[in-house]
């Protein structure tokens, strides 16, 4: 089976690029031939290094200059060069991402050349995503989704959702029948998890004692840090009585942690909420492993890498349905699923911190990660789904 994977940031450093690279690698291990089509700057050492690694793992990478994405003309010319007449013999193409104009163009060229494709939106619920950024931005997103992305979905052989919640949300938003979806999550990059013996406490803070943890991008809206702080405010007396803290960490963007620190001070929570900002990998896994629970109550999301990693080290999680992993967390009893409001998040934090439940929740978290989120097994699952799709398309 020859599978094409189109993602414009495949060689990038973020979470989704790592996921698409892992998928490509494990599809090859499962017996598929994989061709990746992407854009990047080969003069950047990290891009060259990632490219070499992908090629060494048996993946064929077609790389074009990143600047070609800036022009519709150049993007279309490159896509036509890759796919006109289907010279690589691609049997099934996969497109990753929602708000990427190049995906619209790629789907158009694939259809023109009669290459069937699968779409992986990576979006969770679109409702909260569209509401962000004011009325003008909302209208632009709505027009993009209705005029362009709906067409891409309608012509797809199938739509790949990361969870049942995501499939229901997309089906509702675009009026698509539920049987057009396949549901497969993303896996854990086990080779990047720092072994226990090398994990270290954060150097910029004293021993935090017992704590809840949020670790990720400091996006106050998407990651619901405002709701998490609201929950901490409701639980202030409980946190002080139990000597618990809420730790917020992650690589800063646009001085967002300064804004969060001001909110913490305004709420009078500086004694129970610690903002420690960026941490190293060894510090990150030290914090994850020792947390009472990992709190990630997103308004919309893919399947956050930090949540997957936390489950892999055996720590229970507090998530919302919009975090896009709630069904598995609930099925395995690996934490608590909260509604998207501060009161529900606060109740979930109290429940998950019950010491009588701690060991069971931690065992369940490990079971979830080992049974559902291992890339080797997921690679086989993706390949099996793709093979079934092709057999159905040929009938």
How confident is the model over 347-375, as a mean pLDDT? 95
Helix, strand or coil, per DSSP, at residue 383: helix
| Poorest-pLDDT segment among 56-60, 288-292, 387-391 | 387-391
pLDDT score of 199 more than 60: yes
Burial of 115 (0-12, 13-18, 19+ CB in 10 A): buried
395 band by pLDDT with thresholds 50, 70 and 90: very low
Alpha carbons 210 and 388: distance in angstroms, whole number: 48
Span 285-309, average pLDDT: 93
Residue 76 has pLDDT above 80, yes or no: yes
Per-residue pLDDT of 237-287, as tens digits, reads 999 999 999 999 999 988 999 999 999 999 999 999 999 988 888 899 999
107 with 7: CB under 8 angstroms? no
C-alpha 1/C-alpha 219 separation (Å) is: 40
Encode pLDDT of 85-127 as tens digits: 999 999 999 999 866 888 889 999 999 999 999 999 887 665 5
- Using alpha carbons, select from 381, 225, 238, 382 the residue that is nearest to residue 298: 225
User: What would the pLDDT profile of 166-185 be if each residue is shown by its tens digit?
Assistant: 999 888 888 888 889 999 99
Q: What is the DSSP string of 193-240?
A: SPPGGG----TTS----EEEEEES---TTTTTHHHHHHHHHHTHHHHH
CA pair distance 86, 73, nearest whole angstrom: 20
Q: How confident is the model at residue 14, as a pLDDT?
A: 79
Q: Domains in the chain, ordered, with CATH? A: 2-187+375-394 (3.40.50.2000), 190-372 (3.40.50.2000)
- Could you give phi then psi for residue 299, rounded to 5 degrees? -85, -30
Contact 314, 245 (CB under 8 A): no
Tell me what the mean pLDDT of segment 299-309 comes to.
91
Check if the beta carbon of residue 337 is closer than 8 Å to that of residue 326: yes
285: phi then psi, degrees, rounded to nearest 5: -75, -30
3-state helix vs strand vs coil in the chain, percent to 5: 50, 15, 30
CB 302 within 8 A of CB 123: yes
Of 393, 381, 395, which is closest to residue 92 (Cα–Cα)? 393
> Average model confidence (pLDDT) for the chain?
89
């Amino acid at each position: 089976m020859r599978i094409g994977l189109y993602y414009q940031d495949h060689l990038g450093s973020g979470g989704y690029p790592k996921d698409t690279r892992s998928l490509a690698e494990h599809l090859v291990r499962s017996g598929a031939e994989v061709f990746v089509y992407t854009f990047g700057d080969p003069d950047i050492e990290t891009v060259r290094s990632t490219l070499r690694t992908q090629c060494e793992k048996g993946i064929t990478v077609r790389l074009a200059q990143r600047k070609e994405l800036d022009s519709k003309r150049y993007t279309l010319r490159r896509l036509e060069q890759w796919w006109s007449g289907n010279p690589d013999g691609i049997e099934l193409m996969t497109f990753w991402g929602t708000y990427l104009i190049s995906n619209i163009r790629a789907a158009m060229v694939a259809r023109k050349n009669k290459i069937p494709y699968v779409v992986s939106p990576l979006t969770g619920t679109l409702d909260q995503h569209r509401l962000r950024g004011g009325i003008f931005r909302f209208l632009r997103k709505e027009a993009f989704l209705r005029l362009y992305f709906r067409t891409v979905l309608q012509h797809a052989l199938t739509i790949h959702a990361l969870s049942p919640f995501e499939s229901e949300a997309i089906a509702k938003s675009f009026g698509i029948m539920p049987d057009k979806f396949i549901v497969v999550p993303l896996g854990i990059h086990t080779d990047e998890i720092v072994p226990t013996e090398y994990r270290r406490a954060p150097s910029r803070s004293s021993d935090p004692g017992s704590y809840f943890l949020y670790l990720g991008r400091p996006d106050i809206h998407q990651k619901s840090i405002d709701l998490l702080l609201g929950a901490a405010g409701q639980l202030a007396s409980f946190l002080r009585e139990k000597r618990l803290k809420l730790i917020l960490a992650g690589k800063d963007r646009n001085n967002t942690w300064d804004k969060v620190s001001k909110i913490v001070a305004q709420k009078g929570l500086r004694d129970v909420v610690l903002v420690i900002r960026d941490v190293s990998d060894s510090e990150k896994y030290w914090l994850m492993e020792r947390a009472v629970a990992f709190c990630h109550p997103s308004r919309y999301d893919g399947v956050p890498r930090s949540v997957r990693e936390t489950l892999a080290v055996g720590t229970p999680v507090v998530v919302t349905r919009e975090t896009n992993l709630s069904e598995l967390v609930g099925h395995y009893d690996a934490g608590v699923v909260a509604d998207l409001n501060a009161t529900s998040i606060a109740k979930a934090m109290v429940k998950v911190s019950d010491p009588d439940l701690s060991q069971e929740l931690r065992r369940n978290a490990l079971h979830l990660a080992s049974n559902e989120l291992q890339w080797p097994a997921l690679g086989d699952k993706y390949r099996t789904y793709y093979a079934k799709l092709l057999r159905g398309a040929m009938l």
